[in-house]
Amino acid sequence: MSPNGPHMVRQLNRRLVLDLFRDGHVLSRADVARQTGLTKPSASAIADELLAEGFLIAAGVGEPGAAGGRRPNLLRYNELCRTYVGVHFGAQRTMVLLTDALGKPLARASAASSVGDAERGMRAVRGLVRRACSRAELSLGLIAAVGVSVAGLVDQNSGKCVLAPNLGWRDVPMRSRLEELLGAPTTVFNEAHAGALAEHHDGVAAGVGSFVRLSVGAGVGSGVVLGSELFSGSTGIAGEIGHCRVEEDGLECGCGNRGCLETVASEQAITRAVDDALRSGAASSLREGSHLRLIIEAAHGGDATARAALRRAGRGLARGVSYLLNVLDPDLVVIGGEVREAGGLLLEPLREELPLSSLPQHRACQVVFSEVADAELDGAVLLARRLDEAAAS
């Protein structure tokens, strides 16, 4: 056995015991031994170690066994032994979520995003985290890890935001700077990847081995899960479907190219299509500058201009989804973002167009809307928990 063998076994056994308590069990030391298969001395030693470190706390006494004897001391997981922070840098708002060790929300805070000034935006997060900790009456020192999702391209190797067009950020060393500001290990992912994690954990894709989740907001991105694992690519920018061309003579995109999916199917693209139609004299109950929610409400009310904008977006999304189907062959496609409120007004044109751009074998693949309201933020918390668990293993 290698010199690290005993230590590795010890760490695995600790993880085994911790996972048992994280599931919500209240157990005696003898229960731990019985349920993990460890010897009683080993189980007791690990339980005592976790108790001393604050991961476990006393939970009273249990009933004596069938043969009588002393009543056993019970232990349970200490949900406040550590906290996690999820941060979502969205195109319009920056949101922070503080959770306990099991991922239960404790406090939230948010502010307008800092467009064009990444340093100011990251400093603002420090204030938001402090505000959330104050609301939860917990110390900053309990933060074990921070997970960040950002509306932009992220190089996983360096933790740098390479480009966030809708935030006006480029080459921002987010991981290192946020670790400096927050004093905790930090991981940074693209928002669509974080959203896919949340969808796989507690959404319509729970239990689905291979799926794609499109995040439709100020931009359009996708998170890809293959074999129940998030696929990020060699540098972390896999799934950037929003920057695939779907129109030959389309508008210029924030990435510098023309006709990208983002210029057709993003929230901004939908609102721009309505404004263009109004300036051309189209009849509508809407006014120029109407935000997406009003457009969707008008479309449900029968407004032809609003419906046309959603139909164009749905057809554009179909062309983007067809690339994903033909290349990845997923079991499911999930669409997240405020556009899901459009319902069939978006899905029907998408489903009509999809067979024209994808192989017949993919027609059985379902395309559905997400049911996770804040997937990008929830996914950021999951990223923080994964980072902490990886460090402990």
DSSP 225-285: EETTEEE-TTTS-TT-GGGSB--TT-PBPTTS-BSBTHHHHSHHHHHHHHHHHHHTT---S
Cβ neighbour number for residue 4 with a 10 Å cutoff: 9
Residue-by-residue pLDDT tens, the chain, 393 positions: 444 577 788 888 988 998 899 888 899 999 999 999 999 999 999 999 999 989 999 988 877 766 667 888 999 999 999 999 999 999 999 999 999 999 999 999 999 999 999 999 999 999 999 999 999 999 999 999 999 999 999 998 899 999 998 899 999 999 999 999 999 999 999 999 999 999 999 999 999 999 999 999 988 999 999 999 999 888 888 888 998 898 888 899 888 889 999 999 999 999 999 999 999 999 999 999 999 999 999 999 999 999 999 999 999 999 999 999 999 999 999 999 999 999 999 999 999 999 988 888 887 889 999 999 899 999 999 999 999 988 876
Domains with residue ranges and CATH for the chain: 5-77 (1.10.10.10), 83-196+376-392 (3.30.420.40), 204-371 (3.30.420.40)
3-state secondary structure of 171: strand
3-state secondary structure of 137: coil
Nearest to 24 by CA among 71, 59, 64: 59
Tokens representing residue 29 in the block: 């030391």
3-state secondary structure of 161: strand
Residue 13 · residue 42 · CB < 8 Å: yes
DSSP structure class, residue 25: -
Burial of 325 (0-12, 13-18, 19+ CB in 10 A): buried
**Over the Cα atoms of the chain, what is R_g?**
24
Q: How far apart are CA 385 and CA 103, in angstroms?
A: 8
